[in-house]
Chain A
């Protein structure tokens, strides 16, 4: 149970210190540290990253969501194709999904050209891949649970009864 709570807090803000997590959960700080270590050890927590709103940055960053259709055969399963694709550093996320296509793949690069080339030269030629559909991200409104608006103004009075 405490594991779940620690996990929720880390998901809310991975920079909460173990001291703050201890205060919030009522656990000892040592227990919090041990819980986090165990979560990392078990591969539940795979990493900690900043959530970036690229639109706020001068430098261009191009992202695309690519739908992939594949055919399987006796020797090749989804996992084989996935491990091959996931090795490319351009691929930032890869998931097997239900519905009209098989994989949902996120790709990042410095320009549309770079991303297009990656898809056409590295992904499309993979023999099991029968079709790719690339969607360029135009604007991100929310990522990892964080909204990218200006935030809801807190228009409450600073004192109220």
Chain B
């Protein structure tokens, strides 16, 4: 056998963002609003705890499911979203939420199963389903609905016949959130059509104006839902690679079966950092959330002034403005990058419903945001679009 790609891998198209990287490399004054991770460093107390754990030689594997203390802290933490999970059987600590997502697909998707993917979406779900041998059914959401998932969208896409549903709210790339009222009919739909639900709630903490609601908290949903969360976003810990999944005991058992053979355990140093992050960094998280919220309001009002309509995103750290008439999103993103050195991600990268939009991240300081928006303004002015 030679090293020829498996059919599953060959099926995955190369990333659409590659060539943008290369263009960005050519300039040294690029302001990037293309970033999907916090600009803040991990709160110092959490970094310090990681350093101390290294000094003490805490460098062995942990229990497959993660340190018991950390699972207890997670159980306590998620009560704020009205979620109750037993640290002993219903929580598994993973190498980033990314691993949790992958575990769920591998543990619950059989070849031929259909997974409805709510789009625009974080780019991992489709490939993850494919690697597990499942079929992807895109469920486009629409700007008129502020990119929320509706029963209408599910029905139109034919999701009633799917086996599972995966989504992320607060959403990457749109910044959309789902309130309790928005989730209710979706939960009813999942029960009625017997869908498993994979709810990526990694941006839960980054919800502005209002509270994050989890679908797993609805009657009859806990037994069919896996919740993903992690420390990358709210605790600014992307590089430490730590996330977790919450699910009923038998489901966590199944995911753990994959995890114990593929990963053994999540990084130990990161687990110490996470433990401290939950124990003492709430104030810092709040202050980061406050900073994001300021930037969000600033960016939204600038796009409105620039005549690039943008629904009021209330979560994560993204807004999703519409490109002006006569542009497709890729051309706009490319010309803006070449001419003005502002990097944004074309919306079509994120699947159905993303065409005609840009993902603009505000995980960047206000000074850079002001400058970036001024450059976008001059880009539009030069084209007589303002």
Binding site for B on A (CB under 8 A): 9, 12-13, 16, 20, 22-26, 152, 154, 156-161
CB distance from A62 to the nearest CB of B (A): 31
Chain B residue nearest to A17 in the complex (CB)? B370
User: Which of A22, A24, A25, A160 lies in contact with B35, CB distance below 8 A?
Assistant: A160
Mark out the residues of chain B between 154 and 173 whose CB falls within 8 Å of any chain A CB in the assembled complex: 172
Q: A156-B32, A158-B30 are in contact. Are A24 and B297 (CB under 8 A)?
A: yes
Q: List 10 A-B contacts (CB under 8 A).
A: A12-B366, A13-B366, A13-B367, A25-B297, A152-B41, A154-B39, A158-B32, A158-B343, A159-B32, A160-B35
B124 within 8 A of A: yes
CB-defined contacts of B39 to chain A, threshold 8 Å: 154, 156
Which residues in A have their C-beta under 8 angstroms from that of B189? none
Do B302 and A156 touch across chains, with their CB atoms under 8 A apart?
A: no
Known: A23-B298, A25-B297, A156-B32. A161 touches B21 (CB 8 A): no
CB-CB nearest in chain B for A155: B239
Chain B residue, CB-CB nearest to A9: B294
| A158-B366 contact, Cβ under 8 Å, with A24-B297, A26-B297 | no
Asked if residues B17 and A159 are in contact (CB atoms below 8 Å), the reply is yes
B386 at the interface (CB under 8 A from A): no
Among A9, A12, A20, A161, find the residue whose CB has the most chain B CB atoms closer than 10 A.
A161
List the A side residues contacting B343 at CB < 8 Å: 158-159
B263 at the interface (CB under 8 A from A): no
Interface size, chain B (Cβ < 8 Å): 27
Query: B367 contacts A158, CB within 8 Å?
Result: no
In whole angstroms, how far apart are the Cα atoms of A13 and B369 in the complex? Answer: 14
Q: Which of chain B's residues 289-324 have a Cβ closer than 8 Å to chain A?
A: 294-295, 297-298, 301-302
Complex-state Cα separation, A23 to B366, whole angstroms: 12
Q: Are B370 and A159 in contact (CB under 8 A)?
A: no
Chain A residues near B35 (CB, 8 Å)? 156-160
User: With A20-B366, A152-B41 given, can you name 5 additional A-B contacts, CB distance below 8 Å?
Assistant: A24-B295, A157-B21, A159-B24, A159-B32, A159-B35
**Residue ID in chain B nearest A152 by CB atoms:** B41
Q: List the B side residues contacting A22 at CB < 8 Å.
A: 301
Question: Which of B17, B39, B122, B294 has the most chain A CB atoms inside 10 A of its CB?
Answer: B294
Residues of chain A contacted by B17 (CB below 8 angstroms): 159
- Given known A24-B366, A154-B39, A156-B37, contact A161–B124 (CB-CB < 8 A): yes
Query: Are B41's CB and A161's CB within 8 A?
Result: no
Contacts of B21 in A (CB 8 A): 157-159
Complex interface bits, B319-356 against A, C-beta within 8 A gives 1, otherwise 0? 00000000000000000000000010100000000000
A96 → chain B closest CB, angstroms = 29
Chain B residues lying within 8 Å of A156, measured Cβ to Cβ, are 32, 35, 37, 39
User: Restricting to B19-48, which residues have a CB under 8 Å from any CB of A?
Assistant: 20-21, 24, 30, 32, 34-37, 39, 41
Least CB distance from A12 to B in Å reads: 8
The answer on a CB contact under 8 Å between A159 and B345 is: yes
Whether a CB of chain A sits under 8 angstroms from the CB of B123 is yes
Residues of chain B within 8 A of A154, CB atoms compared: 39
**Other-chain residue from A9, A16, A23, A158 in contact with B302 (beta carbon distance below 8 A):** A23
Q: Which residue of the partner chain B has the closest CB to A158?
A: B32
CA distance A26 to B297 in the complex (A): 7
Instruction: Give Cα distance in the complex from A87 to B30, angstroms.
Output: 48
User: Is there contact, CB below 8 Å, between A159 and B297?
Assistant: no
Kindly list chain B residues whose C-beta atoms are within 8 Å of the C-beta of A26. 297, 301
User: Could you tell me the distance in whole angstroms from the C-beta of B18 to the nearest C-beta in chain A?
Assistant: 9
* CB pair B123 A20 closer than 8 Å: no
Q: Across the A-B interface, give the 6 residue pairs with the lowest CB-CB distance, nearest first.
A: A158-B32, A23-B301, A159-B34, A160-B36, A158-B24, A23-B298
> Within the assembled complex, what's the spacing in Å between the Cα atoms of A12 and B294?
12
B332 shortest CB reach to chain A, Å: 15
Query: In the complex, which of the residues B32, B124, B172, B298 contacts A20, with contact meaning CB atoms closer than 8 Å?
Result: B298
Q: How far is the CB of A45 from chain B (nearest CB, A)?
A: 19
Task: Name B20's contact: one of A13, A25, A159 (CB within 8 Å).
Answer: A159
Residues in B neighbouring A157, C-beta threshold 8 A:
21, 35
Give bound CA distance, A152 to B44, whole Å. 14
Which residues of chain A have C-beta atoms less than 8 A from B297's C-beta?
A: 23-26
A37 to chain B, nearest CB (A): 22
Interface string of B354-386 (1 = CB under 8 A from A): 000000000000110010000000000000000
Chain B contacts for A25, CB-based, 8 A:
294, 297
Cβ–Cβ < 8 Å partners of B302 in chain A: 23
What distance in Å separates the Cβ of B192 from its nearest Cβ neighbour in chain A? 33
Q: Which residues of A contact B122 (CB under 8 A)?
A: 161
How distant is the Cα of A20 from the Cα of B297 in the complex, in angstroms? 10
Closest-by-CB residue of B relative to A25 is: B297
- From B34, B41, B295, A158 is in contact (CB under 8 Å) with B34
Q: How far is the CA of A133 from the CA of B302 in the complex (A)?
A: 53
**Most chain B beta carbons < 10 A, residue from A12, A13, A23, A158:** A158
Contact A20 B370 (CB under 8 A): yes
**Which residue in chain A gives the minimum CB-CB distance to B337?**
A158
